[in-house]
Amino acid sequence: MDMYLYPWQHDLWMNIVRRHRKSGLPHALLVSGPAGIGKHNLSLNIARWLLCQSPAKNDHNEDACGQCHSCQLWAAGSHPDFMLCQPEEGSRQIRIDNVRKVNSMIFQTPQISQCQVVIIKPIDVMNTNAANALLKTLEEPPGESFLLLETERFGSVLPTIRSRCQRISLSIPAYEESLAWFIGTGVAEQDARRALQRNGNAPARAQQWLSSGIGEVQEQWVAQLMGWTKRQAQLGKVADAWLKLEFSDVITWFYNVSCDMMKMASSGDAGCAAEHLTFAEPVTEISGYVAVDKTKLITFQQKLQRILGQILSGAAHHNKSLTIEVLLLEWQELAIVRSGVSS
């Protein structure tokens, strides 16, 4: 049977199990927390277990059995009482049509299992029409059905949705636990530590960052940003190179770099301890030859945050290369090469 749960989720999982044994789980759960810590894995585990016809139980654990008809259909990816609702390919929003499919499934009786389960992710990218179509279902879920909603941006979930759900809030696991898990997957300790550092200590995200090669590309971005800051690189070339990955990753990266620069600039002569920085080595290097205008940097950070919010909510369509070029030009305005640094 596929394992979904990460080691740091065991206690949380047992709380969920005990609660269900005692009084039954609420029918609408909102699973929230930062990216890359296993929210979706938790939802999947809850779904498979709720659907399972004879969960395996002992005093210390309970989970889906992996063998019943329901578990077999689950493993085959064709369980008729389960639905995963997420933005369609090429879209970032959940639309009313997607919600209508959820509603029409959930108002039927279960075919195999004793209940139906729908996972909706991410719930914060739902427009008002779609949300309205979901509200009645959330309010009075028919029969034995469960809705598991996921979000990285709890504050962006519509209040009408939030108020109809019970929240399960996940946070970044303890560093040593993440590190031990990461090394246990066969990653060298040094790589694991660096990946965790670059990804806000979110272990699943760090793993993906390392295995997908995003990490290597980002190290190149740093070199390109340095070249650009020193006026040695061409605007178009830097922008093109950055656009080879997801736009939201580029903006997130630039935002993290600018936060590090702010910490460096604010910590004075003593410098900022590496563990407080996402990109400690490269940012320390950049700070060695540029001074930042803090006021402009704050405005710049706010702009990056705004753009990221727009991307994640699916609310705006940016001209990506133009946006990056403008950001790079603004960066040159705020990062002033220290005198005495040769170009």
Residues near Zn ion, by CB under 5 A: 52, 64-65, 68, 71
94 exposed, middle or buried (CB, 10 Å; 0-12, 13-18, 19+)?
A: buried
Which conformational region is residue 239 in: left (phi greater than 0), alpha (psi within -120 to 50 degrees), or beta? Answer: alpha
- Token pair belonging to 7: 């080691």
User: Shortest approach of Zn ion to residue 79 CB, angstroms?
Assistant: 11
Nearer to Zn ion, 71 or 290 (CB): 71
Torsion of CA 222, 224, 228, 230, to 10 degrees: 70
Torsion of CA 209, 210, 215, 217, to 10 degrees: -100
Nearer to Zn ion, 45 or 258 (CB): 45
User: Shortest approach of Zn ion to residue 3 CB, angstroms?
Assistant: 15
Nearer to Zn ion, 115 or 337 (CB): 115
Length of the chain: 343
User: Shortest approach of Zn ion to residue 299 CB, angstroms?
Assistant: 55
Is residue 273 helix, strand or coil? coil
Nearer to Zn ion, 52 or 312 (CB): 52
Nearer to Zn ion, 39 or 79 (CB): 79
User: Shortest approach of Zn ion to residue 168 CB, angstroms?
Assistant: 22
Question: What are the DSSP E strand ranges found in 126-284?
Answer: 145-151, 166-169
User: Shortest approach of Zn ion to residue 252 CB, angstroms?
Assistant: 39
Alpha-carbon distance of 200 to 44, in angstroms, equals 24
Residue that is written with structure tokens 């400690």 in the block: 280
Nearer to Zn ion, 71 or 238 (CB): 71
User: Shortest approach of Zn ion to residue 49 CB, angstroms?
Assistant: 8
φ/ψ of 200, rounded to 5, equals 55, 30
Nearer to Zn ion, 42 or 52 (CB): 52
Question: What are the DSSP E strand ranges found in 218-323?
Answer: 290-292
Alpha-carbon distance of 326 to 235, in angstroms, equals 10
User: Shortest approach of Zn ion to residue 15 CB, angstroms?
Assistant: 21
For residue 158, give the amino acid letter: L
